[in-house]
C-alpha cells in the first residue's frame, strides 16, 4: 500500500503559476516595461508591505518619544503634492482632448504617438504620486497623530499604490485617463488646503472649501462608478477585467468614505474626544468658516 502523500489534483503546480504571471506581463503595456518601478510587481509590493509594517510598528517606536515638529516640512510637502497633481490633471486633460478620447469608454492604444506617450507618462506619474502620498501616514505617526490612522486611511493609501501600478503597467491610456484626471484634480484641492492652512489662521479663514472636501471625494467615487458601469453599454475594447476591478474598488471607497462622513458630520460628539476636537458637524464647520471670514 502506498502511504505517500499525494498533492490534490486541483492545486496548480508552481510552473503553471509562474507561467500565468508571465502571460499576464505578456499582455501588459510594452511601452512602460522599462520605466522605473514597472518591470516587476515586486518593488510595488515591497513598498506596500513596508508601509503596512511602518503603520504597525511606527507608533510603538514613537510611544515614548516626543512628537516630531514638522510644520515647515508639511507646508512644502502638501503644496508640492498639490502642484504634482495639478500637473497630472492638466496633462491628462490636454492629452485626452488632443487625442479625441471618449468620456464614455476609450480603448487603450499602445502606440508611440507623442500624445499617447504623454498620456502613458502622466498615468505613470500618477502612480508615483500615490507612493509619495504614503508620507501622509509617516508624518501622522512621527507627529503622534495616531487617532487618525483609521482603516479607511491605511486602506486608501496602500491599495491606491497597488491599483495604480496595475493601471500604469497594463492600461496606461484609454479610459484610465478619466479617474487619473479627476482624482488628481481633487487632490489639488485637498493638498492645497492642507498646505495653505498650515500657514496660519489669516490664510486658513480664506479656505472656504474645507467643509466640502469629503463630499467632493464621495462625488468622485459615484462619478467613477457611473463612468465604469455605462462603459458596458457601448462597443469598447477597454479591458473588461479592469472595468470590473475599477467599479468594485470605487464602491469600496465610497462605502468607507460614506461611513467616515456619517461618523464625522452626523455623530461628531461621539468622536470629538478621540480626534482632538477636529470632528464637528458639517453645519458647524460652515458656521466656523463664516465667522472667521468676517472677523
Measure the CA–CA gap between 131 and 153, rounded to whole angstroms. 14
Q: Are 278 and 235 in contact (CB under 8 A)?
A: no
Hey, how many other C-beta atoms are within 10 angstroms of the C-beta on 146? 13
Hey, how many other C-beta atoms are within 10 angstroms of the C-beta on 222? 14
Measure the CA–CA gap between 125 and 134, rounded to whole angstroms. 15
Closest CA to 119 of 179, 63, 60, 75: 179
Closest CA to 251 of 159, 168, 137: 159
Hey, how many other C-beta atoms are within 10 angstroms of the C-beta on 288? 14
- The whole-angstrom distance between residue 172's C-alpha and the CA centroid of its chain comes to 16
Collect all residues with Cβ–Cβ distance below 8 Å to 64 and sequence separation of at least 6.
Answer: none
Tell me whether residue 294 is one of the annotated catalytic residues: no
Q: Which of 64, 156, 244, 291 is catalytic?
A: 156
> What's the angle, vertex CA 258, arms to CA 132 and CA 230, rounded to 5?
85
**Residue 216 burial by Cβ neighbours in a 10 Å radius (0-12, 13-18, 19+):** middle
Query: DSSP letters of 210-241?
Result: GGGHHHHHHHHHHHHHHHHHHGGGS---S-HH
C-alpha cell at 135: 508620507
Q: Which is it for the CA torsion 45, 222, 235, 31, positive or negative? A: negative
Q: Are 193 and 209 in contact (CB under 8 A)?
A: yes
Catalytic residues: 156
Amino acid at each position: 500500500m502506498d502511504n505517500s502523500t499525494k498533492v490534490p489534483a486541483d492545486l496548480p503546480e508552481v510552473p503553471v503559476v509562474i507561467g500565468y504571471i508571465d502571460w499576464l506581463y505578456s499582455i501588459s503595456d510594452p511601452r512602460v516595461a522599462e520605466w522605473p518601478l514597472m518591470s516587476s510587481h515586486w518593488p510595488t509590493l515591497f513598498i506596500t508591505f513596508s508601509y503596512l509594517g511602518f503603520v504597525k510598528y511606527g507608533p510603538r517606536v514613537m510611544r515614548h518619544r516626543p512628537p516630531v515638529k514638522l510644520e515647515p516640512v508639511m507646508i512644502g510637502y502638501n503644496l508640492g503634492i498639490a502642484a504634482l497633481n495639478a500637473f497630472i490633471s492638466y496633462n491628462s486633460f490636454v492629452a485626452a482632448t488632443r487625442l479625441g478620447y471618449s468620456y464614455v469608454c476609450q480603448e487603450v492604444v499602445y502606440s508611440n504617438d507623442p500624445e499617447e506617450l504623454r498620456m502613458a507618462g502622466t498615468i505613470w506619474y500618477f502612480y508615483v504620486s500615490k507612493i509619495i502620498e504614503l508620507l501622509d501616514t509617516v508624518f501622522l505617526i512621527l507627529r503622534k497623530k495616531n487617532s487618525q490612522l483609521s482603516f479607511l486611511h491605511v486602506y486608501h493609501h496602500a491599495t491606491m499604490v497597488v491599483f495604480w501600478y496595475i493601471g500604469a503597467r497594463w492600461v496606461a491610456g484609454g479610459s484610465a485617463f478619466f479617474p487619473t484626471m479627476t482624482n488628481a484634480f481633487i487632490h489639488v484641492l485637498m493638498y492645497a488646503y492642507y498646505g495653505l492652512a498650515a500657514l496660519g489662521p489669516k490664510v486658513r479663514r480664506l479656505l472656504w472649501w474645507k467643509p466640502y472636501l469629503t463630499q467632493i471625494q464621495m462625488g468622485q467615487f459615484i462619478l467613477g462608478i457611473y463612468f465604469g458601469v455605462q462603459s458596458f453599454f457601448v462597443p469598447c475594447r477597454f479591458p473588461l477585467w479592469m472595468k470590473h476591478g475599477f467599479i468594485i474598488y470605487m464602491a469600496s471607497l465610497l462605502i468607507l468614505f460614506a461611513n467616515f462622513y456619517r461618523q464625522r458630520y452626523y455623530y461628531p460628539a461621539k468622536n470629538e474626544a478621540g480626534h482632538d476636537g477636529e470632528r464637528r458637524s458639517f453645519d458647524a464647520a460652515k458656521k466656523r468658516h463664516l465667522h472667521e471670514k468676517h472677523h
